[in-house]
Amino acid sequence: MSSCNPQVLVQRSQEARKLAYCPYSRFRVGAAVLTSDGTVFTGCNVENACYTAGLCAERTAISKAVSEGHTTFKAIAIASDLEDRFISPCGACRQFMREFGSQWDVYLSKTDGSFKQMTVEELLPCSFGPDDLRARENP
């Protein structure tokens, strides 16, 4: 998958959603992230009895990619069981995505496979990122 095919990326996120471990919320979420070299990594939400220790699907997929040496992304698709509206990443996931750039695509989807395309920057305007910290290194 060298080019960004949104339908395929959404489908992969829907498949990942089926693996979600969410015994508490019963809110399944899957994500599929496309790296700059065309590799796709998927992830699902993994809940924990200690709620704050859980992981969202987006952070799971991105962490899998980073753990395999990928830090440049083209797109991510997110899927849930919501039928009447597009799933949107939480604030923590928006910031996590921002760590790896603000100009890559985010596909918010519904269960029927329809999607809405945005960028990380559109989801997190006026964001704080790595460049803000680099500016402090050489005053």
Measured in residues, the chain has a length of: 139
Q: How far apart are CA 121 and CA 31, in angstroms?
A: 18
Residuewise pLDDT in 10s, the chain (139 residues)? 446 799 999 999 999 999 999 999 999 999 999 999 999 999 999 999 999 999 999 999 999 999 999 999 999 999 999 999 999 999 999 999 999 999 999 999 999 999 999 999 999 999 999 999 986 665 5
Which residues make Cβ contacts (< 8 Å) with residue 127, sequence separation at least 6?
94, 95, 98, 102, 120, 121
* 48 marked ligand binding residue: yes
Sign, CA torsion 53/59/61/63: negative
The pLDDT value recorded for residue 3 is: 63
pLDDT for res 134: 81
Is 83 considered catalytic here? no
Residue found under tokens 């980073």: 66
Domains of the chain and CATH, by start:
6-137 (3.40.140.10)
- Is 45 assigned a ligand-binding role in the annotation? yes
Any known ligand binding at 22? no
pLDDT of residue 1: 46
Active-site hit among 15, 58, 68, 83: 58
Parallel, antiparallel, or unpaired: how do β-strands 105-109 and 73-80 relate? parallel
Is 50 within any annotated ligand binding site?
yes
pLDDT at residue number 139: 56
